[in-house]
Amino acid sequence: MKPRKVLEIKQSIFADNDQEAEKLRTQLKQKKLFLLNLMSSPGSGKTTTLTKTIQARKDQLRIGVMEADIDSDVDAKTISQLGVRTIQLHTGGMCHLDADMTRQGLEGIGTDELDLVILENVGNLVCPAEFDTGAVKNAMILSVPEGHDKPLKYPLMFQVCDVVLVNKIDVLPYFDFDMEKCKEYVHMRNPNALILPICARTGEGIEQWAEWLKEQVAQWQT
């Protein structure tokens, strides 16, 4: 196991991010490496969800995690304790990652002998949605306390995500969150989005999500 390290990634010099993203995806396909881009608001439970996902599948998949953060490395510390390869990416104030920054991160973590790398993007529902990171799939977490109206207010984020994990369903009784309306609004933005209610804290729904992810990796590697 490599030690956890911190990488200061630099702002991209490439003008055409879409082209860089496609190039990165092609390289990932050749390496049979699946990259998942995980996005959400601050505090929606990305790190806890990631912890449970890793625990559920680390015996079947070789997993690496890139923790993008503006400054701290608290999340990378948490994840590295699970015994998977981890790198902290410091964006130096940048509010998102683009494809070149993601490539820098992949070079830093080292992609040999990995099946799946999960990029925990900066906590933000706006900017990360605007930049294709080169990931094979995009996932996002919407937590119950944030409210079911978020797809109305952050349209692009929901549009670009293949999966929406609705987290913290254990606190549904304490919030005015309408799951049916949430599903309706998500599908307004993206009719193909898979919506999975989960509770990362208790583990509810994690098995279905982890299985979906494992199937995606298997498909990508064939």
Binding mask 39-78 for its own copies (x = CB under 8 A): --xxxx------------------------xxxx-xx---
Q: Rounded distance, CA 199 to CA 205, Å? A: 7
Alpha helices in the chain (DSSP H): 17-30, 46-57, 74-80, 99-109, 150-153, 155-160, 179-189, 206-221
Which residue, 34 or 154, is less far from its own copies as judged by CB? Answer: 154
Which residue, 108 or 145, is less far from its own copies as judged by CB? Answer: 145
H or E, element range at 46: helix 46-57
Which amino acid would we find at residue 190?
A: N
184 binds its own copies (CB under 8 A): no
H or E, element range at 137: strand 137-143
11 binds its own copies (CB under 8 A): no
Task: Answer whether 35's CB lies under 8 Å from 134's CB.
Answer: yes
Which residue, 85 or 168, is less far from its own copies as judged by CB? Answer: 168
149 binds its own copies (CB under 8 A): yes
Residues that bind its own copies (CB under 8 A): 41-44, 69-72, 74-75, 93, 95, 122-127, 130, 143-147, 149-150, 152-156, 168, 170-171, 174-175
